[in-house]
Each structure stands twice: as C-alpha cells, then as structure tokens.
Structure 1
Amino acid sequence: MKLFTTTAVTVVLSLILIDFVSTQLYQKSINWDNRAQGQYTDAMAKADFGSVSGWKNDRASISDGKLRITLRKNALGGESGIISNTRIPDGSAYELDFDVRFHSQFDWSRGGKVGFGFGIGNRNTGCNPPKDGAGGTLRLMWYNDNKRVYFIPYVYYYGMPGQCGDKFGKSYPSTGSIEKGKLYRVHMYVKSNTGNNANGHVQIKINGEVLIDQSIRWTTNDSKRLINNLSFHTFRGGSEDHWKSNVDSMIYYDNLSVRQISK
C-alpha cells in the first residue's frame, strides 16, 4: 500500500528545500588568484562581490593574484581611491577577515581609510554622527602622527563623543609602527544591539592582537539595527591638505572572507 503519492512526496521535499534555503547564512570568499594580471573592472568586481557600487576602474588592478588599489596623488576621499559598498543580507552579527599590505614605497602622508568594514542601518560616515540612533559603521584607518604610523578603529555609533569616527584611544601596534611591505591579517566582528541597550559588540584584531574588543550601543532604532553593508573604503583623508600625498601609492588586498553569524 502506498503511504504517499508522488505529489505528496514532491511537496514535502519542496518544503524541506525551502526551509533549508531560508536558514542559510551569507558567506563570501574572494582571493583573486584566478584573475589575470591587469585592470580589475567594475564588471569583474560585480561578478566577484555579487553587487558593488562606487568602483573606479582606473585605480583597481590585479597583481600576482592580489587586488591592488592605487591611491592618486594630490587628492583626498573618493578622488584619491575607492569608496565602494556591497549590499549584504540583513543580519544581527557578521565577521570578516582580509589581508592587507602597503607597497614598499608607500607614502604614509597623514593617513586614510583602509580595507573592508561593515555598515549598520543608515551607515553613517563623513562626520555625520547618528544622533537619531539609526545607523553606524565599523572601518579601519592607518594614521601617521609624525612619530609613528599605526592602525586605528574608526567607528560611528549612537552616543559617540565627536562629529567624526571614534578611535577609542586605541592603536595597533600599541608601540612602534606598522611596516611597509609587511602582511597584516585583519579580523572584524560586529554584533547589533537591541533597543537602547549597549549589548552590541565591536571587535578588531590584527595579526591576532586585539585592537578593540568591547560592548557598544550601535543604534536605538530597532528598525535600523541590522548589519546590511560590506564596505571597501581605501582612500586618503581626512579633508585638510596635509592628508594628501604628492605621489601615487599602492595597497594590496587578498583572502577576503565574510560570514554572517546570525540573522
């Protein structure tokens, strides 16, 4: 005696598949090993990332299986490098890892934004603090204080003390300088908070050493609490002229991995 009809079995299997797909969490890994030497175009970036905005074909190329970004001389912000964003599925926790290396002839100037990061809700940047509690961002900078050069966190969140990204008084390394030509492995973790609670989290580790690791109140508007953006911001600045350089300089990226931890 048949217990199930073919139609019934098909329906059950379809429901199982739908449930399986709905519970999958976003993951993306890119290492550029299979990309040919030369220009890395907007079309290539979209093929690799799935979606991307703000790409600059004349500043991105592939060199020995790595993504190379050229920072243009005498320019700041988007005119000097790339300010690109990729929409990712809404999630309450994400982490990422990537490698970064400054060219052996890199000019530090004053500093700038470097590498990948996350956006929450309205994704505030540009010295626009989220006073409405509806957005935040986690990014990384390099900074030259004329004594040493180091990485700093650059974070926008509700209640931040100034107009521009909060650095929390943190630096990597804690003494001495980062080095040209050296590979740095960056790990970031971000978790949303709920309501007006400081039960979110922010973490950055570089070569396994903690740069920042603490609780945080990203937002107060629960409709804007979720992480929704993967940023790739690589440019000089700051806004004043002393952030500029009079030479072109290059930064290399590799082994990007992005993982959604929870919806």
Structure 2
Amino acid sequence: MHFSAIISLTFGLAGIVPAVLAIPQSPGCNSRSSCTSNNECASGVCRNEICVEVGDPESQVHLVKRVLPEKTSDKCAGGDCGASTSGEGGAAGGSQLISEWKLPGFPSHDLSGFNVVHDKFGKQNRKFIKDPAGENTVLQVIYPAGSYAPGAKPVGGTGFMAQPINLKGARVVAFGYDVFFPAGFNFVKGGKLPGMYGGGPETTGRDSKGFFSSRFMFRTGGEGEAHLDVPLDKQVPGFCKIPPKSVCNPSFGASIGRGAWKFPTGEWVTLSQSIALNTVGKNDGSVIVKVNGKVVIEFHEITWITDSSSGFLGLAFETFFGGGSKDWATPIEQHTLYKNFFIQIVDQL
C-alpha cells in the first residue's frame, strides 16, 4: 500500500520547519509507533493501520496529515483480521484524511507542546524529570499525602484542558499516552487519569451544556476502567453492563469495564482509546480501549452527543485520587509519570 499524500509539519525548539517523515509501509509496528496491531478488516474493506516513526522522540512535536487509499479484499492478509473494528480508528469504507499530533517528551520542561486553554489546578504538583527507563524528560505529577479531590486541601494531582490539534469536524478520534506507576504505588480506592473531552463551542468543563469525556481511572489494587461522562438517559441498557463490571451514576458518570485490566507498577503502560461519535438521535457511537496494544474494552452503541453543534475539543488532563471523600485520600506522597502523548483524527464528518 502506498500513501497518496504525506505532508508533515515539525514543530521544533527553533520554530516551524518543513519535514517529511518516514512512514513504515508494512503493517507491523515498532516501539516508537502509536499503533499496535497489524491489519484491520471490516465490511470487506482492508487497510493498513498507521505506524509513524517519530525520529528523535524528545525534540519534536509532529503534526502529520495523510490519505489512506482503501484496498478491497475478501480477506485481510498479513494480520489478525476479524469482525471486530479494533484498530486505532475502527472506521471502514472510503479514503480517510488523517491528522495527528504527537508529544513524545518535554525537552523544554514545560507544557508548551499541549496548547493549554484552561489551567485548572495543581501547577505546584508538576515536575519534569528524567525518564526512569531512559534519557528523555517526562512529566511527573505529585499527589501530596492526604490529598484526594481537586477541591480539597491539600490539592493533589493536576488538571488542565488542552487543544493541541484542531478537532473540528472529526468523527473518529484516537488518543493515548504512556503512564508509569512507581513500584509499591498505593492505589487506595482509586483515582482519575487523563482522557479526551468535547462539547459545544462554549464548553469549558463538566457543567457545560453538551459536555462529554472519556478518561481512564485506576481502582483498588490497580484495576483499570474507562470513565465516561455521557448522557446516561440516552444510553442502551447494555451500556451499563459492559463486562467485567460497569457502574452508571448520574452524578459522577459511567465507570465501564472496571477490572478489564490491571495496572502494573514499576513499568511504563501504554493506554489508548478510539472514540467514534454517534449520529445525533442514534446509539451508533463507539469506544475501543487498548492497554499495551491489546483491546480490553469495546462497545459500539454509545450516545456521546445529542446536538450536532457538539464535537471533540481536546485533551482533559486531570489526575487525582478520588472520589470526593477522605477515605479516597493517599496516605503518603506519591507520583505518576507521563510521556508519548498522541491524538489522531481517524475519520471526518
């Protein structure tokens, strides 16, 4: 397969420099690519997933646009192709214009690569340190002893909203990052991890009209889940029954697939989600969650939006212990680490 167009803008420390990236043509992936499986096959359409070679993993932020020509086939060759649309995008049929933002590391020791639009809390809890598994700079987020929710004292974790890529008109978006829990990390009762958010043009947070989000969350013992803010009264009955366990709470959102994986400690874990918006009035949206490249949650009957003016907006980087009561608090100071952020527009409206 050949790409019909490859246009790359590379944002370096010295400014904006045109560049052409090396895009692996084979369906396989490597340690510095954002996809993790081989080919995807659905509805008789077979196309390769996107593997982007990042080059210097710390000094550049990449914004890549390219068109994937489709290849019709009775079978998918060279990969694990089933009925499940478990690729990063999960969309089939027709050529797709794809845009991608990447932030592998933090060479400038700040958040400039994110394009922060609302810095919410916990600035004092951010540090930039050497990767314990390498030489690059990563983001460290600190949770002081006794901290649990953003409104409680002491303030634990951090929160900001970022819009590093224009998501207007996107129908399917994939995002992900690597997270590191140090050896011996005490998960207590659980806490929030970053994710994507969207809504209308004036959306600033959870209380805004049309707001939706899909984040990650850890629970006791390191159990993982996807935590969704969606209109619960518009969901199909099976939404709140996604295995192994799901809990829907009108006040706090939907905890889906709780225990679908377990976070290890002392090593990096790659988290990613692919989200397809629904058609307004229909339950045809979806979410696919991967951990270290393996699909752990997949559901295709979600209502994300109820108004055509709503859409994807950006990254909701929020992490803290909680829960809104003291029994969620971390008993000691702890921290997590982050790197290798990406957002992909996989399909347009």
TM-score range, shorter chain: 0.7 to 0.9
Q: Residue 250 of structure 1 aligns with which residue?
A: 335
Find the aligned partners of 2:129 and 2:260 in 1 and give their Cα distance: 27
Partner of 2:305: 219
Find the partner of 1:179 among 260, 264, 275.
Answer: 264
**Percent pairwise identity:** 18
Pairing of 1:170-209 with structure 2 (within 5 A): 170-173=258-261, 177-209=262-294
* 1:154 has 2:241 as partner: no
Partner of 2:161 in structure 1?
85
Say whether residues 1:99 and 2:178 are aligned partners: yes
Name the CA shift for 1:169/1:96 in 2 (closer, same or farther; >3 Å).
closer
Cα drift, residue 218 of structure 1: 0.9
Task: Tell me, yes or no, if structure 1 residue 111 matches structure 2 residue 196.
Answer: no
Q: State which of 134, 139, 142 in structure 2 corresponds to 1:67.
A: 139
Deviation of 1:152 after TM superposition, in Å, equals 0.8
What is the rounded CA distance, in whole Å, between the counterparts of 1:262 and 1:120 in structure 2?
16
Structure 2: which 5+ residue stretches go unaligned? Answer: 1-64, 66-95, 131-136, 234-247
Q: Could you say which structure has the larger radius of gyration?
A: 1
Structure 2 partner of 1:166: 254
* 8 Å Cα contact 1:237-1:243 kept in structure 2: yes
In 2, the alpha carbon distance for the partners of 1:246 and 1:168 equals 27
Aligned match for 2:212, one of 119, 136, 145: 136
Greater helix share, structure number: 1
Q: CA deviation at 1:169?
A: 4.1
Distance in 1 between residues matched to 2:142 and 2:273, nearest whole Å: 24
In the alignment, is the contact (CA less than 8 A) between 1:125 and 1:165 conserved in 2?
no
Separation in 2, partners of 1:228, 1:77:
24
Question: Which amino acid in 1 is paired with 2:143?
Answer: L
2:204, 2:323 → 1: CA distance?
16
Q: For 2:326 and 2:275, locate their aligned partners in 1 and report how far apart those are by CA, in whole Å.
A: 33
Aligned equivalent of 2:319? 234
Alpha-carbon distance change, 124 to 168 in structure 1, aligned in 2, over 3 angstroms: farther
CA distance in 1, matches of 2:99, 2:122: 26
What amino acid maps onto 1:237 in structure 2? G
Return the alpha-carbon distance in structure 2 between the equivalents of residues 227 and 136 of structure 1: 9
| TM-score, L = length of structure 1 | 0.76
How far the C-alpha of 1:262 sits from its partner, in A, is: 3.0
Number of residue pairs the alignment of both structures matches: 223
> Could you say what secondary structure the match of 1:171 adopts?
coil
How far 1:213 moved relative to its partner?
1.1
Q: 2:122·2:156 contact (CA, 8 Å) conserved in 1?
A: no
**Shift, 1:170, TM fit:** 3.5
Query: How far did 1:26 drift?
Result: 4.3
Q: What's the secondary structure of 1:222's corresponding residue?
A: coil
Shift in alpha-carbon separation, 1:125–1:73, aligned structure 2, 3 A: farther
Contact 2:116 2:160 in 1 (8 A): no
The Cα shift of 1:138 comes to 0.2
Secondary structure of the structure 2 residue equivalent to 1:48: helix
Mapped to 1, the partners of 2:343 and 2:178 lie a distance apart of 13
Compute the displacement of 1:48 (Å): 1.1
Over 3 Å counting, the alpha-carbon distance change for 1:56 and 1:162 in structure 2 is closer
Are the structure 2 counterparts of residues 24 and 210 from structure 1 closer, same or farther at C-alpha, using a change threshold of 3 Å?
closer
Compute the RMSD of aligned alpha carbons.
2.6
The one-character-per-residue Cα deviations of 1:182-229 (angstroms, maximum 9, x if unpaired) are 2211111111111111111111110122232111111221222x1112
For 1:197 and 1:157, the matched residues in 2 are separated by 14
